[in-house]
Amino acid sequence: MKSNRRPERDSRPSGDLAGRRILLGVTAGIAAYKAVELARLLIQAGAKVQVVMTPSATKFVTPLTFEAITARTVFVEMFPQPGQESPWHTELSTWADVVVVAPATADHIARVAHGFGDDLLTTILLACERRRLICPAMNPRMWANPAVQENVGLLKRHGYRIVPPEEGEMARPGEDPGVGRLAEPETIFAEVRHLLSAPQDLRGVRVLVTAGRTEESWDPVRVLTNRASGRMGFALAEEARERGADVTLVCGPTDVIPPSGMRVIRITTASQMAQSVKREFQHCNMLLMSAAVSDYTFASTMENKIKKGQPDPEVHLVPTEDILKSMSQNKGNRIIVGFALETENVLENALRKLREKHLDIVVANNPLVKGSGFQGETNQVFIIHRTGNVQDLPLQSKREVAREILNAVMEIYRNPLPEPEQDLELDLDLELDAAEELPVPGPGLVDLDGLDIEEADDSAGVANGSAPKPAAMSPAPGGKKKSRRGGRRARERRERQAAAIAAKQTGPQSSEHKPELKPAPEPVAAKTTAVVLADQPEKAKKKKSSRGKKKAEVKTDAPPAAQPVVAEEAKPKPAKKASKKRAAKPDESGDTVAKAPKKRAKKAAKKKAEPDAVA
């Protein structure tokens, strides 16, 4: 009779798990239907999946379902019926790269934890020396039972990896939701993929990890401590171990059982923690200081318990040794990672800790954020590098956080960076707009380039009776201009005006007496006599008349600043007429000579104004 079973897949399909051999154990739970989806995900990734079921599990899902997915025979009985094929349990335990039990019931966990081997699946687990992954699934009240938790702890100590159950609705209608439902197939698949494809980039590297909290005794009963559970440090130690590192774990009191496969040093006080870290630090390549060490301890410890009825005792606290700061002084080429738990100004305080203690990386988190508490399995952190770069990680499991931390550590380990010579600033990828970037002024100068200052019109200087300042003519140091406004015509006017002033200053002047001139308004059309003379010297010479020769010549002895001639209350006249009537004429010697009617000169003198015909 021809069999309808598909042939086994001997080829190695492409995928994350191409060619990897996975043994999937299924026990008797309602969540067994999720194991079918898990098998499908593993097959799609290219893995070879062999299913082993307990006899009771076949009552929830038939073996034919898994055979259709995996194209392999499902093994149930240790001693098969005549004519049926069943390999020895030792053959299956050595065939698999990893053994996954999903779902794992409370009964199965208890039997495996205590070394029972009364069915095919338990005997395979007893004989297996490869990676083993247990995925519990049960009622929330069963999961919370102390006996179950103790059995789970035993499995962890024996080297089993546990994928904890999730919180949510139960399969049976009417049951209260809680923690106990099987993790989603995608979560289990991700864990299997990491187990089989974890990089061995830490092989040969000695990693020192601290975890847990410290306790400082006040009397034989009371202690000063904190709420750290040790979960983050244990996740770091497990991740480093799976990546091939030689891990030493220094841990204080914790709420969970430390992982296996590494050397564990137990301590209680901050002083003991400091001594252990100093002793092990000289032999390590990396220090991951995840422990929550007490900042203070009691100045003295009471020998007996302090009674309640006694007078209020005085508590004297003294600071403990700063372990990170002490280790960084003898850092050498080691990598040191610190942790900063802050409830305010998280990034600023963490960056200050990184600078003061010369750390390579500081991991900062806020326990007040939902999901980042002490007793939880998740965390949300910032990874701050000594270069100032900041990684903002989303809320995820502490194992995934540990993975990201070690990835960051390995970047520094492969590409060592020199110690920063100056204080760091956080690089949060904030870019300034081009319009907001202002030039830096030179030393001792005020930068006016960014201010909205209008160029003063040339006529304004004439109107108020003051000459343009030399600073306006010469550029500021560095070639920067003081204003962004003004065009070619204004520049030409300034150049002509400066040339005229320079020409007048070469004549006979009195440097001892420089009268102060008060500004006076003048129309825009008016021009100084000096400017007119500078523009039309030849024309003025030709217009000399005999009338001008009979007049007394008046030489200008006033300083250049007093040259502009303006009547304070006079009504302005057109520029051309004023220049013809009042234009001064230079004599042959080059001195400026002005001829004007006597009446006009007397009138100007009475008003105590500037001389009308002063050049």
As annotated, the active-site residues are 226
Nearest by Cα to 211 from 156, 250, 172: 250
Question: Do residues 259 and 241 touch, judged by C-beta distance below 8 A?
Answer: yes
Nearest by Cα to 148 from 123, 200, 112: 112
Residue type (1 letter), 100: V
d(CA 399, CA 402): 5
d(CA 216, CA 270): 7
Nearest by Cα to 232 from 398, 11, 60, 410: 398
Classify residue 10 as exposed, middle or buried by CB count within 10 Å of its CB (0-12, 13-18, 19+): exposed
d(CA 313, CA 481): 73
d(CA 408, CA 387): 12
Q: Could you tell me the two tokens for 607? A: 């008003």
User: Which residues are CB-contacts of 254 (< 8 A; sequence separation ≥ 6)?
Assistant: 211, 212, 213, 228, 229, 230, 234
Nearest by Cα to 525 from 460, 454, 580: 460
d(CA 457, CA 454): 9
Quick one: angle between helices 32-44 and 63-70, nearest 10? Answer: 10
Residue type (1 letter), 431: E
Instruction: State whether residue 408 is helix, strand or coil.
Output: helix
| Pairing label, strands 206-211, 286-289 | parallel
Number of H helices and E strands in the chain, helices first, is: 21, 23
DSSP 259-321: PSSSEEEE--SHHHHHHHHHHHHTT-SEEEE-SB--SEEESS--SSPPPTTSPPPP--EEEPP
Alpha helices in 146-262 (DSSP H): 146-157, 185-197, 231-242
d(CA 52, CA 92): 10
User: In angstroms, what CA-CA distances link 558 with 13, 510, 512?
Assistant: 103, 7, 11
Residue type (1 letter), 497: Q
The kind and range of the H/E element at 211 are strand 206-211
Long-range contacts made by residues 59-68, C-beta under 8 angstroms, separation at least 24? 59/28, 60/28, 60/29, 60/30, 60/32, 60/33, 61/26, 61/32, 61/33, 61/35, 61/36, 65/36, 66/24, 66/26, 66/35, 66/36, 66/39, 67/5
